[in-house]
Structure 1
Amino acid sequence: MSIAQLLPAVVALSHADKFQLVQFVLAQLAQEDGVPLPPPTTAPFDPRSFFGVAHQSRQVIDEYLANTREGWL
């Protein structure tokens, strides 16, 4: 399958599906290049969880960020 055949299908994907596609492609490239990947998080990234973030309190956002960073260090 060529990129010209693939692009119309990618354009039709939702934003969340496009993020998942990017994650998959990056993981595959890293694996092919022998780059070690961090262990998967408990929940995959879901951009829909950020919808309306501007309307949440700073404390809620800070708590979310603190909880997601625990596995990074």
Structure 2
Amino acid sequence: MNTTPPDIIWRLRAGQGPDIVVRPEPVLRLSSLLMVRDAVLAGAGAAMLPRLLVTDDVAPGRLALWGPVSEPPFEL
């Protein structure tokens, strides 16, 4: 049973252009941000994670940084 509200959206700031809107469809629910990062590395999909947790994976290209989320301010 999916308990995620249907109105959840991620608004990505696209520089000077309009925000990019993403409507996530959750496939996993995990209680640890490290487990979320590991799931994304394994191909589970996208996640909102603190940049501090993914810096070592973004630099060599294992993960892609999509940019900041508008509200609340967060990196995706």
**Higher strand fraction: Structure 1 or Structure 2?**
2
Fold match (TM-score > 0.5): no
TM-score norm. by structure 2 comes to 0.26
TM-score norm. by structure 1 comes to 0.26
Higher relative contact order (CA 8 A, sep 6+): 2
**Higher helix fraction: Structure 1 or Structure 2?**
1
Bigger Rg, structure 1 or 2: 1
